[in-house]
Amino acid sequence: MKLGIIQDWSEAGFRFAQSKKLDAVEFCVNHNYDSSEFAAKVPQIKALSQETGVAVGSIGRWGAKRIDDTGAIIPAALQDDKNLIDAASALGCPVFNCGCNWTEGKSFAENCRIATDYFSQLLAYAEGKNVKIAVFNCDWGNFVVSPETWRVILSDLPALGIKYDTSHCIGRGGDYLMEMRDWGERIYHFHVKGSSYIGGEHYDDPPAGLDDVRWGPVMNLLYTKGYDGMLSIEPHSNKWRDAMGEWGVDFTIAFMRPFVMPDDYASSGKSPYMP
């Protein structure tokens, strides 16, 4: 696994990750960004990645409306996603994260068919580009967030994966360990974000390690389900800002790093267990 962080695609973003000795950065080219403008910057981004030794581990687009009110695909939204798939391919980025919005007036089955069609077009477009497609479990412009929808859509699209974030499951009152146990093989990208609830109410998304998530069992599941992607730190707190916020990032890095097995870890060839 590689430890990284969400940053922008400026030199400062790469330098920040480099200064923290992180392996990778994630870009969120959300609905308020022009995908063509981002794509035009790919040569500069690639040069920064090579110079700093910081890989581009993930690109995603949150908050976009991809399906119109009649249930039809919005061509411009589809093109935005294709632009970012091309950018990911050029940057050696292994995964593109996206979602699909719910259409009012359509049934659950109809919405699932619409989403399946949308994702199938992205999968077909990404074929041969060394970019996997993952649906995020965040509900910002997206309804494909939990086992109810994964059982339908991911079953029809075996190449589609999941961008997983425990905080979203917790916010919906779900069991993130159970979801990871049952769907861990389909996780293509993972966010490291703290989550804190007090008296059943959301309090904050503090740095990982100062929150309620059971990170030991989470990492156990990632390893035993074969995950070998990016652990992407997502600073998401309104309370942890400025100097305290940067210390929080440092704390999270120090907290998560011992969970990451080195790529060159060598086995003795002997099992530590008795027969």
Token output for 252: 């999270």
What pTM was estimated for this model as a whole? 0.97
Distance CA 65, CA 50 (A): 34
Distance CA 166, CA 218 (A): 9
- pLDDT of 173 higher than 80: yes
Strands 161-165 and 187-192: parallel
User: Could you tell me the pLDDT band of residue 38, with boundaries at 50, 70 and 90?
Assistant: very high
Q: What sign has the CA pseudo-torsion 40, 42, 47, 49? A: positive
Count of beta carbons in the 10 Å neighbourhood of residue 216: 9
User: Could you tell me the pLDDT band of residue 272, with boundaries at 50, 70 and 90?
Assistant: confident
**Residue 136 has what pLDDT?**
98
Distance CA 135, CA 169 (A): 14
pLDDT tens string 59-89: 999 999 999 999 999 999 999 999 999 999 9
User: 15 CB contacts (<8 Å, ≥6 apart)?
Assistant: 52
Domain map (residue ranges) of the chain: 2-259
Burial profile 167-197: b = 16 or more Cβ within 10 angstroms, e = fewer: bbbbeeebebbebbeebbebbbbbbbbbbbe
Best CA proximity match to 101, nearest among 71, 56, 131, 58: 71
Token output for 98: 């996206």
Best CA proximity match to 78, nearest among 42, 28, 117: 117
pLDDT tens string 44-57: 999 999 999 999 99
| Bridge partners, residue 197, by sequence | 202
Which residue spans within the chain are E strands per DSSP?
2-6, 24-28, 55-60, 95-98, 132-136, 161-165, 187-192, 196-198, 201-204, 230-233
The class level of CATH for 2-259 reads alpha beta
pLDDT tens string 202-247: 999 999 999 999 999 999 999 999 999 999 999 999 999 999 999 9
